[in-house]
Chain A
C-alpha cells in the first residue's frame, strides 16, 4: 500500500515519454515542430520555476533574467570568442549557478512582496545591462548565434532539435520528480507549509531556499542556452519583465506544486498566442485575464484542480 503512494511518479513520466515519442506523427510541418520546441523549452524553465514557487512557496518575478544569462552566455562565448557550444553551455550554466548562489543569499532572506520585488529588480537590472552593453551583446537588436555542435557536427533543423528538447524536458521532469519525493524535497515542501515548523525539525530554511533557487535558475539557464542555439539568434525581448511574468503565469495556471502541471501550463500558454494569431492584439489582455482568473477561481492551478475534481467524482 505504501508503495502505491509513490506510483503516480513513474506512470506520469512514462506517459510523458510516450507522448513525446508519438507527437511527431501529428506535427505536419516545420511550424508545428517550432511550436513544440518552444513549448518544450518553456516547460523546462517552468518545471524548475515550479520547484521554487509551487513546492517551496517562494516567488520569482525575474526568472527571464536567468534564461537570458544562459542564452547570452552561450551566444557571447560561441559567437564572440569562438568557444565550442557545449563548453559554452557548461560555462554559462556554471556562471548562472554562481550568480544565483551569491545573489540568492541576501534575496531569499526576504519574504512575500519584498522577495517578489527583489527578484523583479534583479531581472530588470539583468535585462537593462544586456540591452545596454551593445558592444558585447548586440544591444536591443540582438546578435546571431552559431548552431549547436556536438563533436564538430552542427545540429540544425527543427526535427533534430525536437528530439534534443524532448530528451532534456524528460530529464528535467525526472529530476524534479525525484527531488520532490526525497528528504531535501520534503524539507522544501515543509518550508512552504510552515517555516517555523520546518526549522524546529532541523531544516535550515535559508540553505534549502537557496538550493531550490539555484536549481531553478540552472533549469532556466540551460533552457536559455538551448534556445539561443536553436533560434540562431538572441534578443533582449526574451529577457524582459513580461517574459518573467509569462513564466510565472504558466506555472500558476498549470498547477503549483505539480511538475506535470508546469508542463501543461507551459504548453497551453505557449500555444495560445500561436494558435490565436488572429487575436494577437488581445494577447496581453488574455494573459492578464488568465492570471487573475486562475488565482481567483482555480488557485491551485489546472492540473491539481482537475485531479481534485476527478477524485471527488470517483468518491
Chain B
C-alpha cells in the first residue's frame, strides 16, 4: 500500500468519524420523532466555537470542551422546547422549514456572539506528527477516532442496557405503543435533542484543531452528516457510523485522486444517488404505507 493511500485513508477516516458523530445526532432525533433536524450542523459549530472561547479565556482544554458541549446541549434543548414542540403536529414541510429557520437563526446568533473569522483550538495532546506506514498522522486524528469509538460504545451501552436508552429506542419503534406503556414521548424527544447536540458539539471540538472553525462550518458539516446518515440508512445507528466513515474515505479519495475542487460535490452526489437508487440506505429498513 502506497504511503499516499494510507495518508488518504487516515484523513478519510478522521473526517469520516466526524461525519459519523453528526450522522448519529441526526439518527437519534429522527428515531425519536421522524424529524430531520437541519440545525444539526450548527451544534457542531457551537461545540467548536464555544470551546475556542472557553479556552481563550484561560480555562484548561478539557474543561473548555466539556463546557462547550454542555452549552450546545442547552441550545439543543432550548431549540426543542421553543421551536419544535409548539409545532410537533405540523406536517413535515413545516418542520423542515422550522429547523432550517433555526439553523439560520443560530448562525446569525453566532456572528453576533463571536464573529465571522476563522478560529483555531489547540490540539488536545500536541502537534507532533506520528509516522504510520509512511503516512503522517496527527495526534488529534487519534483523538477523533478514539473518542468516536468510545462514544459509539457508550451509546450502544446506553441504548442497550439503560432504562432511559431502551425507552428512547421503544419510542422510535412505535410511538403509540411507547406512550401506552407509560413512556413520556415528549421527554424522549427533548432528551434526544440534547443528546444530539452534545454529539455534534463533541465532533466540533474534536475537529477544530485540525480543520479550524468559524460561524458557518455547520452548513456543510450538517449536510454531509445527513448524507452519511442517509447512506447508512436513516434511523440506523450502525448505519450512521458506517455511512460516515464510508463518506469520509470516499470524499478524501475522490479529492485526492480525481479532483479536489469538486470535493464537496461528492457528498451531495452521494445524497442524490442514495435517494434515487437506495432510499433505505445500506442498513436501513423499508416501510410500506397503509391506506
Indicate whether A and B are direct neighbours in the complex (CB within 8 Å).
Answer: yes
What residues of chain A have their CB less than 8 Å away from a CB belonging to chain B? 53, 57, 59, 61, 106-107, 110-114, 116-118, 120-122, 124-125, 128-129, 132, 196, 241-242, 245, 248-249, 252, 281-292, 295-296, 299
B271 lies within 8 A of A121 (CB): yes
Given the known interface contacts A106-B276, A288-B102, A288-B107, the answer about A132 and B94 at a Cβ–Cβ threshold of 8 Å is no
Q: Give chain B residues whose Cβ lies under 8 Å from the Cβ of A281.
A: 111-112
B266-279 vs A, Cβ < 8 Å mask (1 yes, 0 no)? 00110110011001
| Distance to closest chain B CB from A125 (angstroms) | 5
User: Which A-chain residue is minimally distant from B30 (CB atoms)?
Assistant: A113
Is B261 within 8 A of A132, CB to CB?
Answer: yes
B100 an interface residue at 8 Å Cβ cutoff? yes
Given contacts A128-B265, A288-B105, A296-B83, contact A117 B271 (CB under 8 A): yes
Which 3 pairs, one residue from A and one from B, show the smallest C-beta to C-beta distance?
Answer: A288-B105, A291-B101, A284-B108
Residue of chain A at shortest CB distance from B35: A113
Q: Which residue of B lies closest to A57 (CB)?
A: B93
Give the residues in chain B near A124, CB-CB below 8 Å. Answer: 223, 264, 268
Residues of B within 8 A of A295 (CB): 87, 90, 94, 97-98, 101
- Chain A residues with CB under 8 Å of B105's CB are 284-285, 287-289, 291-292
Given contacts A121-B268, A124-B268, A129-B265, contact A286 B223 (CB under 8 A): no
Asked if B124 is at the interface (CB within 8 A of a chain A CB), the reply is no
- Partner of B104 from the list A57, A111, A132, A287 (CB cut-off 8 Å) is A287
Known: A114-B279, A196-B291, A285-B105. 4 other contacts (CB 8 A): A113-B92, A116-B96, A117-B275, A285-B109
Q: Separation in Å of the B31 CB from the closest CB of chain A?
A: 14
- Once bound together, how far apart are the Cα atoms of A217 and B276, in whole Å? 20
Chain B's nearest CB lies how many Å from the CB of A276?
13
The residues of B that contact A282 with a CB separation of less than 8 Å are 108, 112
Chain B at the A interface: mostly helix, strand, loop or mixed? helix
CB proximity of B54 to chain A, nearest CB, Å: 23
Please determine whether B219 and A288 come into contact, CB atoms closer than 8 angstroms: no
- Give the Cβ gap from A177 to chain B, nearest Cβ, in Å: 23
Q: Which residues of A contact B96 (CB under 8 A)?
A: 59, 112-113, 116
* Closest Cβ–Cβ distance, residue A191 to chain B (whole Å): 13
- Output the least CB separation between A285 and chain B (Å): 3
- A118-B83 CB under 8 A given contacts A132-B262, A289-B105: no
Bound complex: CA of A282 vs CA of B104, how far in Å? 11
Q: Are A288 and B104 closer than 8 Å at their CB atoms?
A: yes
Which chain A residues border B223 with CB–CB below 8 Å?
120, 124
How far apart sit A134 and B97, CA to CA, in the bound complex (Å)? 33
Task: Specify which of B102, B262, B272 is in contact with A122 (CB 8 Å cutoff).
Answer: B272
Chain A: minimal CB distance from B111 (Å): 7
Q: Are A299 and B94 interface neighbours, CB within 8 A?
A: yes
**A112 x B279 contact (CB < 8 A):** no
Closest Cβ of chain A: how far from B148's Cβ, in Å? 24
- Of listed A59, A117, A132, A241, residue having the most chain B CB within 10 A: A117
Asked if B103 is at the interface of the complex by the 8 Å CB criterion, the answer is: yes
B279 contact from A110, A122, A129, A285, Cβ within 8 A: A110
> Which one of A112, A114, A249, A285 contacts B108 once the chains associate, using CB atoms below 8 Å?
A285
Of A110, A129, A285, which is within 8 A of B112 by CB? A285
Contact A117–B101 (Cβ < 8 Å)? no
Of the residues B100, B230, B261, B268, contact of A291 by C-beta under 8 Å: B100
Chain B residue contacts of A284, Cβ below 8 A: 104-105, 107-108, 111
Rounded to whole Å, the gap between the CB of A204 and the closest CB of chain B is 18
Interface set, chain B 247-291, CB cutoff 8 A to A: 261-262, 264-265, 268-269, 271-272, 275-276, 279, 291
B42 to chain A, nearest CB (A): 10
> Could you name 21 residue pairs across A and B whose Cβ atoms are closer than 8 Å?
A116-B36, A117-B36, A120-B223, A121-B268, A121-B272, A122-B268, A128-B265, A241-B219, A252-B97, A284-B105, A285-B105, A285-B109, A287-B105, A288-B102, A288-B105, A291-B97, A291-B100, A292-B83, A292-B98, A295-B97, A296-B87
The docked-state distance in angstroms from the alpha carbon of A285 to that of B107 is: 7
Report how far A196 CA is from B289 CA in the complex, Å: 11
Cβ contacts under 8 Å, A286 to chain B = 108
A292 contacts which of B93, B102, B226 (Cβ < 8 Å)?
B102
Using Cβ atoms and an 8 Å threshold, which residues of chain B touch A291?
Answer: 97-98, 100-101, 104-105
Of listed A61, A249, A285, A289, residue having the most chain B CB within 10 A: A285
Whether B112 and A125, one on each chain, are in contact in the complex, defined by CB atoms closer than 8 angstroms, is no
CA distance A125 to B264 in the complex (A): 8
Chain B residues positioned under 8 Å from A116 (CB to CB): 36, 93, 96
Chain A residues contacting B230 (CB-CB under 8 Å) are 117
- With A122-B272, A284-B107, A291-B101 as contacts: A128 and B264 at CB distance below 8 Å: yes
Q: Of B93, B103, B271, which one neighbours A288 at CB under 8 angstroms?
A: B103
| A123 CA / B230 CA spacing, docked (Å) | 18
How many angstroms from the CA of A296 to the CA of B98 in the assembled complex?
A: 8
B86 at the interface (CB under 8 A from A): yes
Most chain B beta-carbon contacts within 10 A, residue among A53, A249, A283, A296: A296
The docked-state distance in angstroms from the alpha carbon of A118 to that of B230 is 11
**B121 at the A interface (CB under 8 A):** no
